[in-house]
Structures are given as C-alpha cells and as structure tokens.
Amino acid sequence: MNKAIPDFGKVAVLMGGRSAEREISFMSGNGVLQALRSQGVDAHAFDPHEHDLSELKAQGFARCFIALHGRFGEDGTVQGALELLGIPYTGSGVMASSIAIDKTMTKRVWMAEGLPTPAYVLLQKNNLDALSQKQLIESLGLPLIVKPAREGSSIGVFKVTQASQLPQALEQAALSDNDVLCEQFISGDEVTCPVLGQGEQAVALPLIRIIAPAGNYDYQHKYFTNETQYLVPAGLPEGEEQAIQAQVLKAYRVLGCKGWGRVDVMIDGQTRKPYLLEVNTSPGMTSHSLVPMSALAAGMDYAHLCMHLLAGASLEHELSQGARA
C-alpha cells in the first residue's frame, strides 16, 4: 500500500438502495469502489437494500462513501442513520440532504434568500383536476415543466407545450410522488456547476454547458447515449461563468450543504439571467457524470476526486461539537 495514502480504515461504498435511481447508483458506486481500491483504500461495496445499515458497525466500517441517489440515500434518511451509528460519511448532513431532495422546499429557501429560480405551482396527487390545470397554465404559461418534487435523474419530468399534454404529464409525475412540481419553462442555455467543500471554504468548479438532442436532457441522454454534448469550458460570455459560480456558491451555502454537490442552472436565452433549478447532494459518479468531468477540467482526476471526497467524510455532531469547543 502507498505510504502516502491516508489510512481511512475499512470503507463502505454505499450503492444500490431502494430508489428509482438504483441502477445508476450501482454505476456510480462501482466506479468509486474501483477508484478507491486503486489508491490502496480498503473499500467494500454495501447495498442498504440488501443489508441492514446496522451491519456497518458490526462489520467494523470506519467511514462511508455515499454513492446512493434519490430517496433512501440522498434525502437525509441514511445520513441520520449514520449519525446515530457514529460512522462519518461523505456529503451533506441530514437537514441539507432532506431539503435539497425536495425541489419545492429548495426553491422556497432560495426565494427567501433572494436567489432566482423559475416560478412554480405545487399540486398534490389528489388535486390534479381540470380547474387546477387551467389555473396552472394561466399562472405559468406554456411551455411548462412538470416533475415529481422528490425525484432525480430526470425521472418523471415532462415538458408540456400544449394544454392537451398536461393531464398525462401530471398523472405520470404523480406516479413517482404525491407532490407534483409545475415550473415555468426557461428557454436558453443549460449549465451545471459542481461545488466542493463547506461554508466559506466551498469552491465552485468549472461550469459545464449541456447540449442534448432536441434540448431533451432526459434519463436516457444522461446515462446511456453519447449524443449529448458537454462543453467545458462552457464558452459563456465574458464574466457570466464567474457570476453564475458566485450565485451557485450562495445557493449551496444557504441550504447548509457540505462535502460536495452540483447545482443545475438555466440561463434565459434573451435576458441572460440565470435561474437555479435544483441541487444534487449526492451527484452521479458514472462514466457520463458531470462532477468528475468538471473536476478533471480543474486538474483533478476521478481517483483523486474520490479520495478528496472520502477525506472530507464527517459527522454533523462532531462538527457542531467542534464549533462549540
């Protein structure tokens, strides 16, 4: 083993899980697992869907790399269990994770802090009637975006361009969540900005501009095709990238995120105003994923990114105790 590699002890890479993103989580987790092992880390795969989290303590794991996506992994539940077990983990803590997984709660926090995010209407699964739909279109106009409030990887997301498409879009989104988020559509450049660190020490990585076929950056185009273009450097007008990075850092900090994350942004094609869409607190680490791509552009390869994230594994309890010390 390389003497320069920190001794992280026995490390569990949490992957799989119970969410709709289980397949993607295995892709991320196996990439992380191989990278950590290549650096001499005693890393092991652990699927919380197959094994009770209490086994982590019994098997002597010293820290966890969370490569779970979506619910029961990215939503504060696993983070809370690890806090109780006293096992440090990568990424954001309980509160930030639980807020960030909920796109509506995230938007409410951002709006309270004066950060720009598209206008929205929240509907409930049991209230998708015609009157609500009429008011929805009057409020947001067309086209508009319909998506589950607590889902990732573009699962259940629909662009509605005419009123006749709205009922089916709402019904499909409601299959994934009781809360259906309907959002103003912003036409323009789609970019994403990864962040590493915590608080004032958090750093924004280079922006990536995403050009998907017909502007449709869906589940398939995210993970399983090579048709989507990713531009880094993003090629934005001078000063625009730095301004967006500053907004992204504020958006990340006000939610209390730590470790790492990725904030998705739409830039209005006419006004060039950026609109914050959501923050991912456990981003993908697949061969098509954006955080490794941006980190590489900043000079950090995949293996070193994984090591950097693992080195930052912590418990919120320890951080708060340290703050009072």
List the domains of the chain with CATH numbers. Answer: 10-90 (3.40.50.20), 99-115+187-310 (3.30.470.20), 120-184 (3.30.1490.20)
Of the chain, the end-to-end C-alpha distance in Å amounts to: 36
Residue 12, pLDDT > 50, answer: yes
Residue pair 232/209 in contact by the 8 Å Cβ criterion: yes
CB-based contacts of 9, cutoff 8 Å, min separation 6: 42, 60, 61, 62, 63
Res 2: pLDDT:
46
Q: Report pTM.
A: 0.92
**pLDDT band of 262, cuts 50, 70, 90:** very high
Residue pair 231/211 in contact by the 8 Å Cβ criterion: yes
Q: What is the pLDDT of residues 177-235, one digit of tens each?
A: 999 999 999 999 999 999 999 999 999 999 999 998 766 555 554 445 678 899 999 99
Report the catalytic residues: 21, 153, 223, 262, 264, 278, 280, 284
Other C-beta atoms closer than 10 Å to the C-beta of 104 total: 16
Residue 35, pLDDT > 70, answer: yes
CB-based contacts of 218, cutoff 8 Å, min separation 6: 154, 157, 212
